[in-house]
Amino acid sequence: MSKKLDPVTQAIRIQTPQSSQHEHSTPLYITSSFTFDEAEEMRAAFADENQANIYSRFSNPNVDEFVAKMCVLEGAEAGFATSTGMSAIFGSMFALLKQGDHLICCSSVFGSTFTMVTKYLVRYGITSTLVPAGDHAAWEGAVQPNTKMVYLETPTNPQLEVIDLEWAGKFSKKYNLILNVDNCFATPLLQRPIDFGADLVVHSATKWIDGQGRVLGGVIVGRADLIKDIYLFCRNTGPSMSPFNAWILSKSLETLDVRMQRHCENALRLCETLQGNPHLAWVKYPLLPDHPQYDIAKKQMKLGGGVFCMELKGGVEAGRKFLDALEMLSVTANLGDTRSIASHPASTTHSKLTEAERLSVGITPGLIRISAGLEKFDDILADIEHALVKSAI
């Protein structure tokens, strides 16, 4: 075929070579290791002179297929898959930063990422500066002679702040910094950070990439030279993806495009309907015109994503009552599922932070995060409106 296939098509069609059984769907390669016909072949594999599989902690056909699909979708040169989203973030930082280095990080990041940056990096002599998402002067002022990496989420979790990727790419190139972007909330179907100058892109594949709440996984894609260092680090420290999880995730990518369209459609319609609800102080979604970074979101995102936030007027107590009043929506820490999900960050994902720390990263007392699923719109809306009435204080 002379025509170059669209990345969505490639993510459906990429597969490991067929075996002698001529299977149509990639089989599972559940094995700890791989054999060699002769000593020289094994020597060459360990010397990185060929692409032979050695051990499933290093590489595996199922994992390689999943990574190849993610690289195509993100427009990346290479990648490595990990056991969880947090191990992807961990690997992307610890493989490339050393004692004495400095990291600039968006202040409004996922709670576990915040803890990793503020509590654990410092133990290894790596300092960091947290800066507000949209304060360009603060980003410029945070640069130090030993700064090596910029880490950010966009949209952020759960505050849905949108960072200008074009600006971030130019900023990072200006100071010769590695730009590391968590693209979990948008997925490569809605935005591709590498197109704006990102050097690395990380995902929690547990979320929309799986999309059905079945398996854990993470992936790092980007520049081949950086991925090589990450691969060597992860190969020796062990946060590898299991073949079974990779097999699930690779199949999930075949439906990502159609799923994301429905997630985004439901999320936007819910926000538009809930705006002005008497029990809510506000509703926030990247593609609502009153979002502070609406113009940026329109520029770099094809659709607004599957998550929106709303602030209950009753604060923390109303947040707890809202979750208890839901009849259909799931109350769980996951998101990006076929099933709609609600969470209250102040009492869950960000509960280990002090009140001042929560407020500094935008976690207000009555903040509810909704992950819009694939159910019929009217059913999702009815459950949310019912719970709003029941939780009113």
Contact 216, 84 (CB under 8 A): yes
Same domain for 234 and 294, yes or no, is no
Contact 82, 234 (CB under 8 A): yes
Same domain for 39 and 187, yes or no, is yes
329: number of Cβ within 10 Å: 24
Residue 293, domain member (yes or no): yes
Q: Hey, CA dihedral for 128, 132, 138, 139, is it positive or negative?
A: positive
Same domain for 90 and 58, yes or no, is yes
Whether the per-residue pLDDT at 351 is higher than 90: the answer is: no
Give me the mean pLDDT over the 359-369 stretch: 85
- In this prediction, residue 190 carries a pLDDT of 98
Q: How far apart are CA 145 and CA 127, in angstroms?
A: 12
Residue 23, domain member (yes or no): yes
Residue 1, domain member (yes or no): no
Same domain for 27 and 135, yes or no, is yes
Residue 33, domain member (yes or no): yes
Whether the per-residue pLDDT at 392 is higher than 70: the answer is: yes
- In this prediction, residue 358 carries a pLDDT of 76
Tokens 């050097």 belong to which residue?
Answer: 199
**pLDDT, tens digit, for every residue of 191-250?**
999 999 999 999 999 999 999 999 999 999 999 999 999 999 999 999 999 999 999 999
- In this prediction, residue 350 carries a pLDDT of 67
Whether the per-residue pLDDT at 361 is higher than 60: the answer is: yes
Same domain for 245 and 260, yes or no, is no
Q: Hey, CA dihedral for 252, 254, 255, 256, is it positive or negative?
A: positive
Residue-range definition of the domain harbouring residue 332: 256-390
For the domain that residue 64 is a member of, what is the CATH number? 3.40.640.10
Same domain for 245 and 293, yes or no, is no
353-358's contacts with Cβ under 8 Å and 24+ in sequence apart are 353/111, 353/114
Whether the per-residue pLDDT at 1 is higher than 60: the answer is: no
Same domain for 51 and 160, yes or no, is yes
In sequence order, the β-bridge partners of residue 150 are 104, 179
- In this prediction, residue 354 carries a pLDDT of 75
Residue 308, domain member (yes or no): yes
Contact 376, 267 (CB under 8 A): no
**pLDDT, tens digit, for every residue of 30-87?**
999 999 999 999 999 988 888 898 888 999 999 999 999 999 999 999 999 999 999 9
Contact residues for 92 (Cβ-Cβ < 8 A; gap 6+): 180, 200, 202, 220, 230
Same domain for 199 and 302, yes or no, is no
- In this prediction, residue 2 carries a pLDDT of 63
Q: What confidence tier does 315 reach under pLDDT thresholds 50, 70, 90?
A: confident
The separation between CA 71 and the C-alpha centre of its own chain, rounded to angstroms, equals: 14
Contact 181, 226 (CB under 8 A): no
Residue 2, domain member (yes or no): no
- In this prediction, residue 271 carries a pLDDT of 98
Same domain for 304 and 190, yes or no, is no
Q: How far apart are CA 373 and CA 386, in angstroms?
A: 18
Residue 171: HSE in the Cβ half-sphere, 13 Å Cα cutoff:
25
Residue 101, domain member (yes or no): yes
- In this prediction, residue 253 carries a pLDDT of 98
How many domains, the chain?
2
In whole angstroms, how far apart are CA 344 and each of 321, 353, 377? Answer: 10, 14, 22
State the Cα torsion 232-237-240-242 to the nearest 10°.
140
Residue 29, domain member (yes or no): yes
Same domain for 159 and 34, yes or no, is yes
- In this prediction, residue 348 carries a pLDDT of 73
Same domain for 270 and 242, yes or no, is no
Boundary of a domain, candidates 229, 255, 281: 255
Instruction: Provide the residue type at 221 as one letter.
Output: V
The span from the first CA to the last CA of the chain, in angstroms, equals 63
- In this prediction, residue 152 carries a pLDDT of 97
Boundary of a domain, candidates 228, 255, 282: 255
Contact 45, 37 (CB under 8 A): no
Instruction: Provide the residue type at 280 as one letter.
Output: L
Boundary of a domain, candidates 213, 230, 255: 255
Same domain for 283 and 243, yes or no, is no
**pLDDT, tens digit, for every residue of 365-390?**
899 999 999 999 999 999 999 999 99
For the domain that residue 371 is a member of, what is the CATH number? 3.90.1150.10
